[in-house]
Structure 1
Amino acid sequence: MNQIQVNKGRIKWVDAAKGMAILLVVYGHALEGTHANIQFNNLAYEYQHGLIYSFHMPLFFLLSGYFINSWLHRPAGVAIKQKVVSLLVPYVVWSILQGALMVVMHSKSTVNHGWKTLLLIPIEPLDQFWFIYAMFFGLMIIYFLWRWTHRVIPAILISLIVILLTSNNQVWQFQNIAIATFYLGAGYYFKNNIGQMFLTNRWWFRGALILFIMFFSIAFFYMSELLVNPLFKIVLAFLGSYVIMEMAQVIQPYWLVFLGRNSLEIYVSHWIFLAGSRTILIHFGILNAGVLVGVTTVIGVLLPIVLYEVLKKLTLSRLFFGR
């Protein structure tokens, strides 16, 4: 497989992997929304949904952890401000926009939220925004533990313990934050200790792909209790993430790398375009599941980028997206 390519401070394969990950996120949400509206084949839905959700968010955390080394060395004020701007600003803005739209369009939405939901945004993330919320606090935990110990292992071990303790009892956002901390720390450790031993290795890739499909399929069809086992979920997440990371070593078309570089903008705003386009299509009698999922996925990926470019030209992108 090809060597790592760096362009203007970015690693090309990481952007390609983020591109694959954001496509899976949007496709997964398009799948959920379509299934909620028209109830298509349950087995096909559940298998795809389970497969995607077994690793796509851990993958994002792992890839984000890949780049935190220089950030960890910054003064606390600078480090915190950077993440407030890049994460909390889009979290608050898009949570309010999406939440308000959900309230107004509650009869058309697949979820039901009231105005109280908006007031709880500081302590209770709305739907997919749990990821941004957990990312911020996970980074803060790693930052201060690393500044104290100069090691990332304590953050990984503590977060793993919290994941195991909260696997059957979700208290506030502790488990989500622990998940973020664990995979962010693992991404950092992977890059700085063992990354190149495994990346660009065809045999590791083939083995991981076979194990991932085999483990998930056995659990899905025969041992469903494994799918809620926290340790099994971690194994699946690492296998699935590694498969994508290896694929990204050789699959690097410009459009995929571009999606990866704009993955945050797509993530925070795609739901609005997904829900809106799906509502319009169903209104005009388009009820084919494949068409609905395919069209809304494309719209959910492209329109956030168009919006970002427009806001950037209007010098408003920093207000909405933190950059």
Structure 2
Amino acid sequence: MTAVVAVAAYLPEGRVRIEEVAGRLGLSGMQAKIFRRYHKLGEVALDPHGGLADLLRGALRRLDGLRGQEHRVRYVLHARTFPTVVPYPHDPVGELCEEFGLGHAAVFAVGHHACASGLLAVDAAGRLLAADDDRDGLALVLTGEKAFTGEAQLVPETSFFGEGAAACLVSAAGERDRMLAYATDPRGEFDTDDQETALEFQRVYADTLAAAITAAVGRAGLAMDEVGVILPHNVNRVAWHQVCRTLGYPRERVVLDNVATTGHVFCADGFINYLTARDRGLLRQGEPYVMAAAGAGSGATFSAMVFAH
């Protein structure tokens, strides 16, 4: 059974107020005010001087579980929100693999689920290791991107992207943080620029994400009241309050600590929130928790994964 062996994250020290980001993107003062007062966003994490390699390197340096285990890593997966994250022919992930003694591993990107690609990568990593039938093997999942274009800085009417990275080691089996179930709902009908379809996406967002969570929890043989916490993607508080209302789940058990101070850190949010929950003592031995995310890119994807800590 797929298990997460170790998790680390890196957030740059720099923070930028959302009003400054909104101004650069041509948003009005009223739009910025709505983001702050209604969506409860405050600032985003940004590193104006570093590149993608610096973000990922920061996470890898903090991944203590990798030390001395480099030879066991069979796969390195970079989960991406956007198909292109650096200009051609740069290859920061490949370069970091050489730097950290992982040059022997198979390296590739995982996308197509946009901001839910981090969960897809964990599932793919576990499946690859299980297919190898190698109990000693590990996979490394990397998440995090640069907010280097206008499209990569703003989720229209929803959130701002922040910069950071996370790294996690995955095994085919383990005693802690075992994956119990995974549910994903890809919705190709939202692959359009039509305004009416965009409004429909906003209308069904909470119900569809809640349905994905419910499906994953059901596949794990559990009920929602057995789930200790939900580790969300950091879009905004209001969206998660709506999801909780649909689920009938206490919103105080959704780890929203980082929403106002980091922004939506692409596919890294769930892993960053895992560390926050762990540090707050919210993850209890044997208790199930959910990591959930929605992505919008080539269509939309709503995903949830259940683990037992």
Q: Which has the larger share of helix?
A: 1
Q: Which has the higher contact order (CA 8 A, sep 6+)?
A: 1
Q: Which has the larger share of strand?
A: 2
Higher alpha-carbon Rg: 1
Question: Shared fold (TM-score greater than 0.5)?
Answer: no
